[in-house]
Amino acid sequence: MTFPQPAQQPAPQRAHTHTHTALAYWTVGPCQGELRREELPAPSQGQALVRALYSGISRGTELVVHEAHVPARIAKAMRAPHQTGDFPGPVKFGYLSVGVVEEGPEDWIGKNVFCLHPHQDRYVVPVTSLTRIPDAVPLRRAVLTGIAEIALNALWEAGPRLGDRIAVVGAGLVGGMTAALLRSFPLGRLQLVETDPGKRGFVESLGVEFALPDDAKPDCDIVFHCSATDEGLARSLQLAGDEGEVIELSWYGNRAVSLPLGEDFHARRLSIRASQVGVVARSRRHRRTSSERLQLAVSLLQDRVFDAFLTGESPFEELPEVFDGLENGELDDLCHVIAYPEPPNREGNQA
């Protein structure tokens, strides 16, 4: 994923010559991760030193990396913005980080920011990689900015219209976020389709209608598929109306997908279109930058309904065990939040 750099000159910056030590999470082999110490350079002109407050685990994508399922053919295209190392590993990967600027240009120091950065307690990045968090968005909730960006881009891809009948298949992190953003649209119908009846309470807390796959209503104008399963994609094709469109948000890694294309897909002239957040959706690409898309995404998180996505929390030092728990099924969180320790003798803003 690449992000355009603004042409403006950075604001004057305090001079710093000392370096810092950082602790970062690395995937070192299939289903193996560890925390590694590294040296950070002092921020140079136009850069900032960020102290992490929270990060979030984007379960679907990060487990593909954790389990070493990134296909070699697209490994370069699927790099995260501040990734270090290469797939399958060792690699430092992740993209939901919230922190506070400790050093850098004067107008950035002390600002709360979101960054598409791996799990790390301090890092140095260009200020153009930072998105300021509005005061009305709690910092813990702001880890969802990257997920809101994925869903926002998918809505730009699909272009839902007044009165549309829409289904979102898969009530995970991305599917839930997509449905949560759609609930404010003037739609004719919106259902979030999920195989697990235990997620009914979560779905209804978003103000969205829950439906088991067999109960979902057909003849949809648009179906957003987010379950990352063969069955979910097949059901999405069944739910789409004639000449309707399925927007595919799932990433399957190197796993092959089996799909009954001889049924609904061919006979009813359906379309499947991929949505991937690495570039701005075509319908907005000439009028919105990636930075503007991120700023809009974080502003959408002022609604407290999004707290329903934050279903677990652990301290940073336990991150290797958290990934093990997500991989083996002991943890079943939508977005597991990682909390970073306060520096000694210092007050932090962790509202």
Give the pLDDT confidence score for residue 345 in this predicted structure.
60
Based on the domain organization, do 200 and 262 belong to the same domain? Answer: yes
Based on the domain organization, do 227 and 320 belong to the same domain? Answer: no
Q: CATH number for the domain including 210?
A: 3.40.50.720
349 pLDDT band, cuts 50/70/90, is: very low
Residue 2 lies in a domain: no
Based on the domain organization, do 128 and 164 belong to the same domain? Answer: no
Give mean pLDDT, residues 159-181: 98
Give the pLDDT confidence score for residue 6 in this predicted structure.
41
Give mean pLDDT, residues 189-215: 98
In three-state form (DSSP H/G/I as H, E/B as E, the rest C), the secondary structure along the chain is: CCCCCCCCCCCCECCCCCCEEEEEEEEEECCEEEEEEEEECCCCCCEEEEEEEEEEEEHHHHHHHHCCCCCHHHCCCCCCCCCEECCCCCEECCCCEEEEEEECECCCCCCEEEECCCCECEEEEEHHHEEECCCCCCCCHHHHHHHHHHHHHHHHHHCCCCCCEEEEECCCHHHHHHHHHHCCCCCCEEEEECCCHHHHHHHHHCCCEEECHHHCCCCEEEEEECCCCHHHHHHHHHHEEEEEEEEECCCCCCCCCCCCCCCHHHHCCCEEEECCCCCCCCCCCCCCCHHHHHHHHHHHHHCHHHHHHEEEEEEHHHHHHHHHHHHHCCCCCCEEEEECCCCCCCCCCCC
344 pLDDT band, cuts 50/70/90, is: confident
Residue 66 lies in a domain: yes
Based on the domain organization, do 185 and 300 belong to the same domain? Answer: no
Residue 280 lies in a domain: no
Q: CATH number for the domain including 298?
A: 3.90.180.10
pLDDT at 298 over 90: yes
* Domain hosting residue 267, numbered range: 160-274
Least confident segment among 7-16, 161-170, 185-194: 7-16
4 pLDDT band, cuts 50/70/90, is: very low
9 pLDDT band, cuts 50/70/90, is: very low
What digits encode the pLDDT tens for the residues 81-120? Answer: 999 999 999 999 999 999 999 999 999 999 999 999 999 9
Give the pLDDT confidence score for residue 226 in this predicted structure.
98
Structurally, the chain folds into a number of domains equal to 2
Give the pLDDT confidence score for residue 7 in this predicted structure.
42
